[in-house]
Amino acid sequence: MAKLKTHFVCQECGGESAQWSGKCFECGAWNSLVEFKEAKLPKNSKSSSKMSSGEVPSIQSLNSFTHENFSKRVSSFFPEVDRVLGGGFLWNSLLLVGGIPGIGKSTLLLQIVGRLSKSYKCLIVSGEESGLQVADRAKRLGLDLDSIQFLSTNNLEEAESLIQNYEPDFIVVDSVQTLATSTLESSAGTISQIREITQKFLEIAKSRKCIVVMVGHVTKDGSLAGPKLLEHMVDAVFYFESLHEGALRILRTQKNRFGSANESAVFEMSEDGLVEVLNPSEQFLSERQRGVSGTSVAALVDGTRCFLVEIQALVQRCFQGFPRRTFQGIDQNRVALLLAVLEKYGIDFSNYDVYVKVAAGGRIEEAAADLAIAAALASARLDKSIPEDVLLLGEVSLTGGIRSVQHLDIRSKEASRMGFKKIIVSESGNSKKISVPMGAQVLKIKNIAQLKDQLWAKSYSTVNKEVGA
Ligand code: TYD
Ligand code: MG
């Protein structure tokens, strides 16, 4: 029986400690340390920390590594995925796609393989699904089953030897938590196993001309060691998450050695698999009612993408008990703060039920949406509609002052693209960063009192400043 060495590893950052503690010494996360017993490698087993290519390393000029065929990026044939990748896949790279189970990681990669396999030798190594299941899904997605090669195994050594013989250009490993090496006694999904699997696929990606994409599940309860522990080992990490409740998904870059670490792409899970959403704002605003009170539009930034979302507020007289405060997709403390500020500026909510939600199941986490939320609340309470071409960008301080927000350029560009003609911002903001087309207006306000004037004064003319680009 091999001797076990025990230590504790943080599920958040991978930091190690000889003793258990409630808080990770490295990253400060609470309750993230789990006991980890690492079995010694059985005798005769090869440690995979050595490169297996068998080549003797030598010192060469960088120029000798450039090769036209290698330096060209490989398109995924999904323009949005290519953008997130930084222009396509790069040869010899190891990528990790993380996300909660059922979010659509396998579907996305199967669709990419479906398109890539027309030009490249692609192999899916799955420890999760059988060939029958994957074939059934591929058929439903309308993919060419003949060109996609599939291997169902949980054994790393088996996968490695078959990969050596088949020599694929593009390998999907689904998932890193379901493969195990027989050189370790621990079971699949443990920290030692997922590190070993990653190390092996890193060697494969670097030692032969191929691209490897590994799937890593993220579990909220930490029952599986997650992709976070592997982030430093791989070339790029992407997370696939739900953007809004429902079918929208977002692919976000967490780390990318070969491109921007601040990119994202939106998809919709449909009956025909994942479909790229080129214009998320249009989708979020598509069912907006015009000319009614209690609705406003905010611009949210995610990475380098901007989404316009509709905020809806309903304010009704409360006839008994305490007034209700019901919020969906917005932090209740944020709305409570805005209600208090509006009260201070003479808009009374004390005997009114207040309901606020983000349309289309959206979520707001940015303070940049404060002004839009405050405007929707005031609009609902005063029963006055906000002109449909007005977009509000600003953080509201406790004094009622309006503070400027970051990424004014990205937000105003998206607003202009979506046809908004009046952008209300903080007076302190840098208007040079605001890009609006000819004829559009940037309206600057100092505080909540001016918000009322701007929205519902008879004319916009007095304090408006026209900006042309
Ligand atoms: P999957 O790719 O298996 O998720 P993951 O690999 O991240 O665990 O996604 C499974 C979900 O996607 C499942 O709930 C069904 C749904 N789905 C569709 O809605 N349409 C489709 O065409 C496909 C293939 C899956
Ligand atoms: Mg899967």
Which residues lie across from 249 on neighbouring strands? 242, 267
Predicted pLDDT of residue 192: 84
- For ligand 1, atom 9: residue with the closest CA: 104
> Is 356 near ligand 1, meaning CB less than 6 Å away?
no
Whole-structure pTM value = 0.78
Contact (Cβ atoms closer than 8 angstroms) between residue 176 and residue 199: no
Mean pLDDT over the full length of the chain: 86
- Shortest-distance Cα residue to atom 23 of ligand 1: 273
Strand order in the sheet with 422-426: 390-392, 422-426, 441-445, 465-466
**pLDDT interval class at 461 (50, 70, 90):** very low
Residue 385: the pLDDT is: 95
Residue 96 confidence (pLDDT) above 70: yes
Q: Give the model's confidence band at 1: pLDDT under 50 very low, under 70 low, under 90 confident, else very high.
A: very low
Report the separation in Å between the CA atom of 10 and the middle of ligand 2, taken as the mean of its atom positions: 25
Give the largest Cα separation in the chain, rounded: 86
* Pairing assessment for the beta strands 122-126 and 170-174 based on DSSP bridges: parallel
Q: Which pLDDT value is given to residue 173?
A: 97
Whether the predicted pLDDT of 458 surpasses 80: no
- Residues with Cβ within 8 Å of 238's Cβ and at least 6 positions away in sequence, in order, are 84, 95, 96, 97, 98, 251, 252, 253, 254
| Residue labelled with tokens 């249009």 | 282
Q: What's residue 147's pLDDT?
A: 93
Measured between alpha carbons, how far is 37 from 337 in angstroms, rounded to an integer? 49
Instruction: Check pocket membership of 114 for ligand 1, CB cut-off 6 A.
Output: no
| 25: confidence class by pLDDT, cuts 50, 70, 90 | confident
Position in ligand 1 atom list of the atom nearest CA 101: 8
- The pLDDT score that the predictor gives to residue 33 is 78
Structure tokens that stand for 466 in this block: 């026209």
Q: According to the model, what pLDDT value does residue 221 have?
A: 61
Instruction: Decide if pLDDT at 178 tops 80.
Output: yes
Ligand in nearest proximity to the CA of 176: 2
Atom 13 in ligand 1: residue holding the nearest Cα: 102
Residue to probe by mutation, ligand 1, list 107, 126, 249, most atoms within 8 Å of CB: 107
